[in-house]
Amino acid sequence: MLTVDPQGLTDAASQVEASAGVLAGLDVAGPFSTVSDALVGSQTSQACLWVSTRLGAAVQVYAEGLQALAGAARTSAQDFAGTDGGVASGFGTGVP
């Protein structure tokens, strides 16, 4: 039997969403810029640009995925609470 705690699921979604916000706010490209500026014209400088843009994009995509996961968890919690309440009322009992 599946037992779901809608409040627990909603709390977990909030924590995941907060983590996604922190992750999205990270400056992963900044440190590469310092190295690139110090080695202008070198292959290392070009590699820094290449890596920083891809790493920055990957982190943003991951943060967006976490946001979507948090949204899905919230929706599931709401759906479960609504379904559970409907079934309980069908039996003539309220859900605490």
Q: Is residue 91 part of a domain?
A: no
Q: What is the pLDDT of residue 83?
A: 76
Q: What is the pLDDT of residue 85?
A: 66
Q: Is residue 92 part of a domain?
A: no
Number of domains in the chain: 1
Q: Is residue 95 part of a domain?
A: no
Between CA 60 and CA 16 the distance in angstroms is 15
Q: Which residue range forms the structural domain that includes residue 31?
A: 8-82
Q: Is residue 23 part of a domain?
A: yes
Which residues, given as ranges, of the chain have pLDDT below 50?
Answer: none
**Coil vs helix vs strand at 44:** helix
**Coil vs helix vs strand at 93:** coil
Between CA 96 and CA 40 the distance in angstroms is 66
Q: Is residue 89 part of a domain?
A: no
Q: Is residue 38 part of a domain?
A: yes
Residue pLDDT, tens place only, 38-61: 999 999 999 999 999 999 999 999
Q: What is the pLDDT of residue 82?
A: 79
Q: Is residue 59 part of a domain?
A: yes
Q: In this structure, are residues 6 and 77 in contact, taking their beta carbons and an 8 Å threshold?
A: yes
Q: Is residue 96 part of a domain?
A: no
Q: In this structure, are residues 73 and 12 in contact, taking their beta carbons and an 8 Å threshold?
A: yes
Q: What is the pLDDT of residue 88?
A: 63
**Coil vs helix vs strand at 41:** coil
Q: What is the DSSP string of 2-46?
A: ----HHHHHHHHHHHHHHHHHHHH--SSHHHHHHHHHTTTSHHHH
